[in-house]
Chains A and B, each alone.
Chain A
Amino acid sequence: MKTYDAIVVGAGHNGLTTAAFLARAGLDVVCVEKNDYIGGAAVSRNLYKDWTYSNCSYVCSLLRPEIFRALELHKHGLQITPYGGSVTFLENGDYYGSYHDEEVAYREMARFSRHDADAYKSYSADTMRQCRFIREFLLSTAPDPTSFKPGDIRELVKIGKKFTEMGEDRMYETIRFWTMSVAEYLDEYYETDVIKASFSGSGIIGTALGIHSPGTAYVLLHHYMGEVDGNVGSWGFARGGMGAVSKSIASAFQAAGGEIRTEAGVDKIIVRNGKATGVALENGDEIEGRLVVSAMDVKRTFLNCMDEKDLPEAFHRRVKNFKIRGSSGKLNIALDGLPTFPALPKGSSLMHSDMHFIDSMERMELAYDDWKDGHWSEDPYVDMLIPTLNDPTMAPPGKHFMSCFVQYCPHQIEGRRWTSEERDAFGKTVIDQIAKYSPDFKDLILHAEVRTPQDIEDEIGITEGNIFHGELTMDQLLFNRPVPGYAQYRSPVEGLYMCGSSTHPGGGVMAAPGANAAREILKDLKRSNTVPENFGDD
């Protein structure tokens, strides 16, 4: 039987990224995937006639440009196009638009508050300062503060230097920022409820916390630190849907000689004499490998696919306690035509932007309360987009695809599995909320895929369907992600590595965990590094 140099478990974008960099270093790599399609949660799915759904992740910003460039993803079919702005509809019939053009954005803010319009610049500078602090560490391994290894010390010194360079006041600011709530952060700049509500969404997307929960300011940052072509904070669409990201990385991997096996779900990671030696598939087959790299989340890897006795007790307990709670659902809708939003002026550029339907901080917090009670939000925070206004490839001409990300939606209803009636009722809640602002919307729906966190877990395999493979709170970031002492992509088992979003720097279709893991593996194998350095100061 053939022995591969490396087996990567899970053909999501991170698994494929690790696989591609290992293959480029000359390793014989196989990537196994339980579904009959690749991509994990970065997929384009054809579920209704000629429509293509980005049915999990739906927009792209965090994908590291260094990785795009190193893997030459443009040659493998990936194209990212920026889109701009957002709009929040108010219950009184008004709307607050955030425009791409700086002056138009200013005027619109000043329509609500001159104070807020003028505060935006310092808000933006303060947020960008935090972005710059963290961005440099995305494409590198988080140093262990307890380690005396030269590499760790070098990185720690670098962090310390960047930190102290900020100056006293900004150091205080930074420490506060990393632990405060998004509501408190926004209160420091803005006075208008709808403006705060509009900005606060980025602090809770994918997170089982409310806008007043400590740590949510960082989550906002996580959504700001991406870029499109050097425009930090910009978001874009992958042409052809998010599956184009995974497909292009897969193509780069295969071009380097890699092999992908679909419908090859892993039942167990095989450990012999304390060393990972391969995987046992659900169909009974076994694949041997000199090392195994798991792109699955940390709970699925260690709690579902391994024997407890192969793991140190403390590590096992930490993994069990890792917070990876399901809090987001998704609706993917095929539309017979473009719905109208009467609040918006005819031809408004805001039709191309993110749309939201919660106009106050109180409603944002109430949406979280429902989740705590084990229910989906009666009045949810929806991040809705119509990608087909920018991407002609995803629906027939004149028809549209609508992507609705929904916060909050629990993994289970009061601790038990969802019924299909409940799933329908959840979908109806979202559709009703949008229909309040778009009277012709319901009549245009041809097909709707409703996905609860439970569905995402069942299909993709992510524990509780948590989009980040674990929450992005300070206790689970950097050298704490996923488990202190194991934040450098190695596990307690020799030959077993982690490369999914449970590892630093976390989720969001960045491909950085996958690339960082490949760098560490190649270091252990004493192979030359194929993983790019970050572009540096920006």
Chain B
Amino acid sequence: MSTRPFEIQEVHQGRLQSPFHPRLAELDTLNTWHTWKGYTSADALYCEDLEYFAIRNATAVFDLTPMTKYRISGPDALDYLNRLVTRDMAKIKPGRVAYAVWCDDQGQVIDDGTIFHLREGEYRLCSQERHFAWLQAATIGFDVTVEHETENVAALAVQGPTSYSTLSAMGLDLAELKPFGLTHVDFEGSEMMVSRTGFTGDLGYELWIEPGKAIALWDALFDAGKLFGIRAIGTHALEQSRIEAGFLAAYMEFLPADETIRSGRSRSPLELGLDWLVDFKKPNFNGRRALAEEQRRGSTWRLVKLDIDGNKPANHSYIFAKSKNNKSEIGFITSASWSPVCKQNIALGTVRTPHGKPGDSLWVEIYYQREMHWNRKMAHATVVDKPFWFPPRRSATPPGPF
């Protein structure tokens, strides 16, 4: 016992690097990084603003390898997923992708993510958080295999109006690929999965390939995109576009229910505006009974998209029902940004029902600092129904050479 009978590798003590890291490091001039699920991930590479406009004006490339990925397969894969998530997965045919949420027995959201129906009976589930213990526990009674494959798949988001042109220049024929569709193509002898998905609310794709081909893919992509304004981007630019698209983020708009400690800090799909993802016609899924009860009795919270007067971003603000009465606090902002493309002051927030119906007038208390001094402003806000940014090109099939 005093000697080592076999070599034990100490687990890596620092941040991991994605297979695309060498290329990102070459392009990086700012040297500002953060940790994303143990990986080094760029805040921004050269200029946050220019990176944002690469998303809205050209082709932006974002490394999403650290995204948690699971492979779900087996004869009962569909039945398994149907019990796991709230929406009806039978409607998601091979070659299609579904946005989904899954809940605990109290109908509280554990996480949201995308489920790729790769082939008949074979799925990939992508999420922000890691859930292997939960996913494995949920297999009971099903002939299904759940495998963790985060490290086995390298992934890039290719987003923006010229993304279709860039990928076409790379030799990919994606003319018929509709939003939330996926296809398998050959890349230098390896199978690459291409999906028309993304986190930007714009025309865009995601590419999925074995890590060994990552550098070759990057080089081919950037070569093809040269004339289409291709640029690598960091998380900050992506986050800005995410809010414009009105997408939820874990730890921002909701906390994974299995990680909340205080009561009342989790959210149900109904409280997140995701009623359309809950299919009560399914006889059995995790959280069904609690959600049916909530639907009957009414929800406590409502997610709102806010169009706020003025131009001061409303980060961390309280939301009020009236401008003068501070006792009327009804919720708070969860994400906020100035939208360069809409020229709007936008935010997502959570408010107590019955407040927050589309068209409602609310007030947001904004604190902002100018040359050391703090100012406070009560800004009027309107609850809006639709995403702030939803360009026609996002769903055009075939996409044009914008």
Q: How far is the CB of B260 from chain A (nearest CB, A)?
A: 7
Residues of B within 8 A of A103 (CB): 15, 35, 37-38
Q: Select from chain B the residue with minimum beta-carbon distance to A122.
A: B258
Binds A, one of B131-139, B177-185, B206-214, B382-390: B131-139
B1 touches A115 (CB 8 A): no
B105 touches A118 (CB 8 A): no
With an 8 A cutoff between CB atoms, is B325 at the interface? no
Q: How far is the CB of B273 from chain A (nearest CB, A)?
A: 23
With an 8 A cutoff between CB atoms, is B327 at the interface? no
A93 touches B6 (CB 8 A): yes
With an 8 A cutoff between CB atoms, is A437 at the interface? yes
Interfacial residues of chain B within 83-140, with CB under 8 A of chain A in the complex: 105-106, 129-134, 136
A95 to B261, CA, bound (A): 31
> Which secondary structure characterizes the binding site on chain B?
loop
A349 to B262, CA, bound (A): 33
**B3-22: contact bitstring with A at CB < 8 Å (1 yes, 0 no)?**
11110101111010000000
A104 to B12, CA, bound (A): 7
Q: Which residue of A93, A166, A189 contacts B3 across the interface (Cβ within 8 Å)?
A: A93
With an 8 A cutoff between CB atoms, is A345 at the interface? yes
Q: Select from chain A the residue with minimum beta-carbon distance to B12.
A: A107
Number of interface residues of B (CB under 8 A): 33
Number of interface residues of A (CB under 8 A): 43
Q: Which residue of A111, A119, A343 contacts B133 across the interface (Cβ within 8 Å)?
A: A119
With an 8 A cutoff between CB atoms, is B26 at the interface? no
Residues of B within 8 A of A129 (CB): 261
Residues of B within 8 A of A132 (CB): 261-262
B261 touches A343 (CB 8 A): no
Interfacial residues of chain A within 109-139, with CB under 8 A of chain B in the complex: 111, 114-119, 121-122, 124-125, 128-129, 132
B5 touches A92 (CB 8 A): yes
With an 8 A cutoff between CB atoms, is B263 at the interface? yes
Residues of B within 8 A of A348 (CB): 10
A125 touches B3 (CB 8 A): no
With an 8 A cutoff between CB atoms, is B375 at the interface? no
Residues of B within 8 A of A167 (CB): 106, 263
B258 touches A121 (CB 8 A): yes
With an 8 A cutoff between CB atoms, is A360 at the interface? no
A91 touches B1 (CB 8 A): yes
B2 touches A436 (CB 8 A): yes
A125 to B129, CA, bound (A): 15
B8, B15, B261: residue with the most chain A Cβ atoms closer than 10 Å:
B261
A106 touches B263 (CB 8 A): no
B105 touches A169 (CB 8 A): yes
B105 touches A93 (CB 8 A): no
Residues of A within 8 A of B38 (CB): 103, 106-107
**A66-105: contact bitstring with B at CB < 8 Å (1 yes, 0 no)?**
0000000000000000000000010111110101010110
B148 touches A114 (CB 8 A): yes
A125 touches B260 (CB 8 A): yes
Q: Which residue of B37, B105, B136, B261 contacts A125 across the interface (Cβ within 8 Å)?
A: B261
Q: Select from chain A the residue with minimum beta-carbon distance to B131.
A: A118
Given contacts A103-B37, A107-B38, A437-B1, contact A94 B132 (CB under 8 A): no
Residues of A within 8 A of B262 (CB): 132
With an 8 A cutoff between CB atoms, is A439 at the interface? yes
A536 to B199, CA, bound (A): 39
Q: Select from chain B the residue with minimum beta-carbon distance to A438.
A: B2
Q: Select from chain B the residue with minimum beta-carbon distance to A441.
A: B2
With an 8 A cutoff between CB atoms, is B176 at the interface? no
A107 to B3, CA, bound (A): 24
Q: How far is the CB of B266 from chain A (nearest CB, A)?
A: 10
Residues of A within 8 A of B12 (CB): 104, 107
A345 touches B3 (CB 8 A): no
A125, A189, A342, A437: residue with the most chain B Cβ atoms closer than 10 Å:
A125
B263 touches A111 (CB 8 A): no
Residues of B within 8 A of A114 (CB): 132, 148
Residues of A within 8 A of B258 (CB): 121-122, 125
Using a CB–CB cutoff of 8 Å, the interface residues on chain A facing chain B are 89, 91-95, 97, 99, 101, 103-104, 106-108, 111, 114-119, 121-122, 124-125, 128-129, 132, 165-167, 169-170, 189, 342-343, 345, 348-349, 436-439
- Pairs A–B under 8 Å by Cβ, sample size 13: A89-B1, A93-B1, A93-B6, A99-B13, A101-B13, A111-B11, A115-B132, A116-B133, A117-B132, A118-B133, A165-B263, A166-B263, A439-B2
Q: Which 10 A-B pairs have the closest CB atoms?
A: A119-B133, A103-B38, A118-B132, A345-B10, A107-B11, A122-B258, A118-B133, A439-B2, A93-B5, A125-B259
